Amino acid sequence: MRPAIILRYSGLILVFDALFLAISSIISAFYSDSALLPLLYSAVISALFGVFPLIFVPAPKDISNKEGFFVVICSWLLSCLVGSLPYVLWGRDFTLTNAWFESVSGFTTTGSSIIKNIEVLPLGLLFWRSATHWIGGIGIIIFALSVLPAMGRTGMVLYRTEMSSLAMENFRRSTRETVKILAIVYTGLTVCEAIGLLACGMNWYDAVTHSFATIATGGFSPKNASIAHYQSISVEMVILVFMVLSGLHFGLLFGAVRGNVAGLWRSSIVRYYLLALAIGVIIVTFSVHGHSFPSWNEALRFAAFQVVSLGTSTGFATTDTALWPPLAKLVMIFFTLQCACAGSTSGGIKFDRIVIFWKGLLRMINKMRHPHAVIAPKIDGVVVHDDALEAGVLYITLYLGIVFVSSLILTALGVDILTAFSGSAATMGNVGPGFGMVSSMSNFSQIPDIGKWVLTVTMLLGRLEIFGLILFVTARSWR
């Protein structure tokens, strides 16, 4: 493995981060706020550390899979480190731990926060906070590849390392074309939502930052009360629609835009995704009606938004779910664990693995009834092989195991069980809010510092789909 190559392409990502830091500093200068120098210094530092490897390390003709893997992981970790610089330099409540937590939460599109009063932060710093969502939403490496189509085989290795196997299933194109599709869909959704929010009366700053957070399924809002601040049904409807769209596979969305709408509905994953959200909304509506909301219209309005928000791992809020009845909370925790589709910006176990799990369970039941039968489970006409079934079940088991261990550590630190479990599930699924002390109208500031570091590890494990980070820390044992 060639460390210089890893430095070169990791440096490329730092240059990309520096660009957004520079944009944030321009916004800070425009509003004459106190974050100008922290953002400017961070932009310069990120640019310098990014440019030097690009100058002194020649571009290779190709890179190995192991090198590509290290580029991806190092890019995530370095971006999170650089992303914490503006917070640390600005100071106030941003200790090293808090700055790291906020940065990792942003880049992993988790949306959990330690900020008690968001609206006192400078607008330039809040823009950077939202930008970390947008950068991390589709993957830092994907963005880099979309502006460097000449990377050839190098690009292919990095792309395959960044995208999970599940996310790649619905793409039937070359790597370069797939990256182009991702960039077009991601940017297009962001622009369309921003226009929709502007039409609903938001100012340009709020429209852009909320669009960044929605399409990345992140959840950072520049308002303390999140979407509840606006008290606008039209704003909620626009965001709800784009949360649902952002939870779909981007390849299928691209096909739908090009006229193949039927292909979107033919996907059993999409049908399950929409059906599960609808059932969840119905159950929660009945649960909160008469308990939290007197009218059916209010119950449906708030239930729909919160179920979709957690079910797509976005994490926006229009009400305080900590006050909801136990049934509603349990349904929300289920969606916190499951989340949306592979190939989207969502986190969690993902609908695809849940479908694979049920296919495997049905196959096992049928095999018990008919031991000599040859049963090949299929999804949309494609045979699901034994290794895919095994990988799906193993991933779900390991995922739940990590949530349990994280919950165990938090409870040992004195955190109550509901906060510990829901907070661990929310960070592992890159969802954002949980229940208890970390509910939709609260934050993670009360979690002990050690607990915050534990939760940032779960964020990274969830974003990198567990095995990525595990392979990184066990790299010495690779053959």
Residues 30-52 pLDDT 10s? 999 999 999 999 999 999 999 98
User: What's the rounded Cα separation, in Å, for the pair 452 and 433?
Assistant: 14
pLDDT of residue 299: 95
Kindly give the residue spans of alpha helices, DSSP state H, lying in 163-247. Answer: 165-168, 175-199, 204-215, 233-246
Greatest mean pLDDT range, 153-162, 182-191, 429-438: 429-438
Tell me, what DSSP letter sits at residue 118? G
Residue 18 has pLDDT above 70, yes or no: yes
Structure confidence by residue, pLDDT tens digits, 268-326: 888 999 999 999 999 999 999 988 899 999 999 999 999 999 999 999 999 999 899 99
Residue 423: which of 414, 413, 433, 415 has the closest Cα? 433
Greatest mean pLDDT range, 265-269, 370-374, 460-464: 460-464
Alpha carbon separation from 430 to 325, 401, 466 (Å, rounded) = 24, 16, 12
Question: Predicted confidence band at 331 (pLDDT cuts at 50, 70, 90)?
Answer: very high
Structure confidence by residue, pLDDT tens digits, 66-82: 777 778 788 889 999 99
Q: What is the average pLDDT across 369-385?
A: 78
Alpha carbon separation from 39 to 90, 121, 127 (Å, rounded) = 9, 13, 11
For 243, the token pair is 């949360």
With tokens 């890159």, the residue in question is: 430
Question: Predicted confidence band at 160 (pLDDT cuts at 50, 70, 90)?
Answer: very low
With tokens 């009366």, the residue in question is: 201
User: What's the rounded Cα separation, in Å, for the pair 38 and 82?
Assistant: 12
Residue 477 has pLDDT above 70, yes or no: no
Share of the chain above pLDDT 90, in %: 57
pLDDT of residue 459: 95
pTM comes to: 0.90
For 46, the token pair is 């990120």
383 by DSSP, 3-state: which?
strand
pLDDT of residue 3: 79
342: alpha, beta or left, given left = phi > 0 and alpha = psi -120 to 50? beta
Phi then psi dihedrals of residue 185, to 5 deg:
-65, -45
For 159, the token pair is 């792309």
Asked if residue 211 lies in contact with residue 194, where contact means CB atoms within 8 angstroms, the answer is yes
Residue 403: which of 429, 425, 374 has the closest Cα? 425
Between 361 and 99, name the one with better pLDDT.
99
313: alpha, beta or left, given left = phi > 0 and alpha = psi -120 to 50? left
Structure confidence by residue, pLDDT tens digits, 391-402: 888 889 999 999
Residue 241 has pLDDT above 70, yes or no: yes
Tell me, what DSSP letter sits at residue 379? E
Residue 65 has pLDDT above 50, yes or no: yes
User: What's the rounded Cα separation, in Å, for the pair 225 and 212?
Assistant: 17
pLDDT of residue 146: 43
CA quadruple 52, 57, 61, 66: dihedral sign: negative
pLDDT of residue 234: 96
pLDDT of residue 157: 44
Residue 141 has pLDDT above 70, yes or no: no
> Domain map of the chain by residue range?
1-162
Alpha carbon separation from 22 to 14, 73, 340 (Å, rounded) = 12, 24, 33
Residue 376 has pLDDT above 70, yes or no: yes
Q: How many H-runs (helices) and E-runs (strands) does the chain carry?
A: 21, 2
Between 291 and 25, name the one with better pLDDT.
25
pLDDT of residue 254: 80
pLDDT of residue 155: 44
Q: What is the average pLDDT across 129-144?
A: 77
User: What's the rounded Cα separation, in Å, for the pair 185 and 191?
Assistant: 10
For 409, the token pair is 């550590």
